[in-house]
């Protein structure tokens, strides 16, 4: 996003989230003016989402995002580049494909239904999925 106006945020919500994943049941934002606008309120109401606001000057009220920011900053600092935007795509790929013990999956697997292939995997021959993999996936999906 180039700007953070109410119109830009509303457009990003519709074109960047709703068009990909469908209408959310809730939207959590800070108390920025762009999220308090009549436009943003009407869009969240129109799609049937409840709008939650985090507490001002209290980052722990949005703890999940703050933990992600901490992880993101640490991963970007590991890259030897002066432009963080150059490292961001691969850092996000790493975060999205990393195994999460609490959900016994990666975020990418939850979204796409199977693990993403990583750049290093193109160096080795692709292994075909066997019937047991499909059966195992069907059982996991049913759970």
pLDDT at 68: 86
pLDDT < 50 positions in the chain: none
Q: Could you read off the pLDDT of 94-118 as tens digits, one per residue?
A: 999 998 888 899 989 998 898 888 8
In the chain, where the domains are located: 6-53, 63-142
Query: 63, exposed or middle or buried, with CB in 10 Å at 0-12, 13-18, 19+?
Result: exposed
Q: What's this model's pTM, rounded to 2 decimal places?
A: 0.62
Residue 47 CB contacts under 8 Å (≥ 6 apart), including other chains: 18, 23, 24
Residue 105 CB contacts under 8 Å (≥ 6 apart), including other chains: 99
**52 backbone dihedrals φ, ψ, rounded to 5°:** -105, 145
Could you tell me where the DSSP H helices lie in the chain?
6-12, 19-21, 33-36, 38-46, 63-77, 84-97, 107-112, 131-142
């Amino acid at each position: 996003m180039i700007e953070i106006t109410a119109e830009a945020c509303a457009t990003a919500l519709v074109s960047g989230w709703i068009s990909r994943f469908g209408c959310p049941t809730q939207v959590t934002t800070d108390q920025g003016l762009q999220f308090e606008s009549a436009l943003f309120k009407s869009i969240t109401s129109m799609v049937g989402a409840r709008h939650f606001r985090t507490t001002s000057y209290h980052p722990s009220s949005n703890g999940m995002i703050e933990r992600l920011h901490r992880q993101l900053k640490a991963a970007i600092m590991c890259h030897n580049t002066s432009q963080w935007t150059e490292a961001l795509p691969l850092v996000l790929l790493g975060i999205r494909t990393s195994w999460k013990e609490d959900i016994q999956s990666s975020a990418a697997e939850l979204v796409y239904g199977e693990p993403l292939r990583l750049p290093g995997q193109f160096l080795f021959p692709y292994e075909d999925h066997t019937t047991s993999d499909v059966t195992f996936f069907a059982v996991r999906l049913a759970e």
